[in-house]
Structure 1
Amino acid sequence: MQLTPREAFFAKRRVDIKDSVGKICGELICPYPPGIPVVIPGELISERALNVLLQAKAGGATLSGASDLSLSSIVICDV
């Protein structure tokens, strides 16, 4: 965790999904199934987490919490 969820809530901007690795996530994204969050506000976005999200999307999972359901962009914390 790089920021608390509260801190992350107030410092957001949107970036292309390809530019998100190494940035601090600003939204909770939970693919369903299985319904387990992959990234949460304040957490550093890793390449592994991004790959899990993209694979889940490609497999037909619903991305709960994602502001961009196509997953072409993601909200990050601008700190």
Structure 2
Amino acid sequence: MYATIPIAIFLQVTHRSPVWLFVFACLAVLPLAAWIGLGTEQLAYRMGATYGALFNATFGNLAELIIAIFAIRAGLPEVVR
């Protein structure tokens, strides 16, 4: 799945088919979201129960938050809704 990241970047830079760009970008998000989730779980575990729960609640959906920010900046509020 990590191989889809450079493929998505290549498709964006070379202005290839938007459909394939979308497919590979969606596939690239999956391992990155899992990686962010694993990192937040590890940090929450090391912070203790109270701060860990707050940290996990805040950053547990970081991938979705990043996608929403980029969609808003691109003028696509309907994607965020």
The alignment's TM-score, normalised by the length of structure 1, stands at 0.28
The alignment's TM-score, normalised by the length of structure 2, stands at 0.28
Structure number with larger C-alpha Rg: 2
Q: Bigger relative contact order, structure 1 or 2, given CA contacts below 8 A and separation 6+?
A: 1
* Greater strand content: 1
* Greater helix content: 2
